[in-house]
Amino acid sequence: MDEKIMNLQEQISQREKARKRAKSLSFDSIATHGVYDLNEALLNQGSIIEPVYLSTAQTFENAEIMQKALAYEIPSWSYTRIHNPTLYYLEETLALLESYECPSEAHACVTSSGMSAINTVVEALLEGAENANFVSSAQVYGGTFQLFSIRQAQKKRQVRWVDATANIEKWEENIDENTRFIYIEVPSNPTIAMSDIKALSVLAHQYNIPLIVDATLATPALIRPLKYGADIVIHSLSKIMNASGMVIGGALIAKENISAGFLADEIRENFAGFIKLLLNRDNGACLSPMQAFLTLSELRTLRMRVEKFSHNALKIAQFLEAHPKVEWVSYPGLESYQQKDLAREYFWLVDSQTESYNYKAVHAFGHLMSFSVKGDGQTANEVLTRLKLIFRATDLGRVKSIATIPATTTHQQQGDQGREIAGIENNLIRLSIGGESPIDLMEDLDQALAG
């Protein structure tokens, strides 16, 4: 056997050991190191930081190695549309973080955007199915709603909407022999609604279909759906995972052997790998190495950042709830939150039971909230326009606080009926809290509400 190939096979063995070692680390250590250990550093000129490989392709020592590499028989990246070392380090880190404290292994595939991740997963699960349908929470991001209600309908695929807060019987009523998956956002954008992950995973597995959870707003620092039985987790890397606002990217993380009786066993075993090496090889939904590098850099402080933003958000939510110009506030940390018990079941700051927290588990509820101003849509527009410190934009999860009116921006294309299904009112403002002083944010909101 070629000595080079033997060396590459040894590299596979070393990487498997590195992954196993990483599984034993704490969350922050995984976020900081991933699988980039001393062995990987020495393979990269001793660099202690994961390098960014901007080259589109690699060369090969001989024809045999090139052939085996492109047949996925030996570790290689060959062409960046298919694979790349920087993407590898990010994918391994995301898989380890999302499967933290989970019994099952997981694999990740990063994509060019969050919507790309959603579309890639949905297409893979619906492909080749006649009269296919899927069941989804009605409380989802506007782009997801459009993808499900319009784009999939154009392909003769039916979405069956269910209120996120509905009991399990209502979800089951919409499942039949042609149902391919259940889809939820936890929590939802922008209404911050919860769905019961454990109950829905049990239901999905009764019908041998996967439960997909978009956990963008929570991140694995607060909720890890695989721990509660979900099969596939989706993230927009553009949000809280990259609080700097310099990345557009997405990720899908799937546990090994997802529940999907309609798929071949080898696809179920490593669904993320199937998408990465086969489907995305052809459709080109790859993430750029530079975007992967920036994401890796920000992941190192994910838990600390989420804790800080959550702390700020709770103070702002309490302030708004007491404000005379506000009708109601939806934030999981409030006593008035309608799904308070469910929020307290799922929202935990990861590793908060460690010595630094005096071994007491800590709830944290994320950076996003929504609130309804007293008045109509025009009143909400006027409040938004008067903001001076908080930015008006359709973004969220930034280190800088951002506000928008979903009915006229992120969820505009849903139309009146679609927004009614999702519970999005014209006077609802979505507020993403960042790292500013809560005092300054409250002063800005107060003057904007006062008029």
CA distance 235 to 98: 10
CA distance 138 to 329: 20
How confident is the model at residue 73, as a pLDDT?
A: 84
Using one digit for the tens of pLDDT, what is the confidence trace for 175-212? 999 999 999 999 999 999 999 999 999 999 999 999 99
On whether the CB atoms of residues 132 and 140 are closer than 8 A, the answer is no
Burial class (CB in 10 A: 0-12, 13-18, 19+), 271: buried
Cα 326–327–328 angle (5° rounding)?
100
DSSP SS3 for 181: strand
CA distance 239 to 223: 15
Beta strands in 264-385 (DSSP E): 326-330, 368-373
DSSP SS3 for 2: coil
User: Which structure tokens are listed for 298?
Assistant: 């920000």
Using one digit for the tens of pLDDT, what is the confidence trace for 32-89? 999 999 999 999 999 999 999 999 999 998 898 899 888 988 878 889 999 999 999 9
User: Which structure tokens are listed for 425?
Assistant: 């009112």
Total-model pTM: 0.96
Give buried/exposed letters for 175-198 (b at 16+ CB in 10 A, else e): beeebbbbbbbbbbbbbbbbbbbe
Torsions phi, psi for 343 (to 5 deg): -65, -40
Residues of the chain short of pLDDT 70, as ranges, are: 1-6, 8, 418, 422
On whether the CB atoms of residues 235 and 181 are closer than 8 A, the answer is no
How confident is the model at residue 4, as a pLDDT?
A: 66
Domains of the chain: 81-298 (3.40.640.10), 302-450 (3.90.1150.10)
Torsions phi, psi for 432 (to 5 deg): -105, 120
How confident is the model at residue 169, as a pLDDT?
A: 97
Torsions phi, psi for 225 (to 5 deg): -55, -30
CA distance 224 to 348: 10
User: Which residue, among 209, 208, 296, 213, has the nearest Cα to 249 in the 3D structure?
Assistant: 296
User: Which strands form 402-404's sheet, in the order they lie side by side?
Assistant: 326-330, 368-373, 428-432, 402-404, 391-392
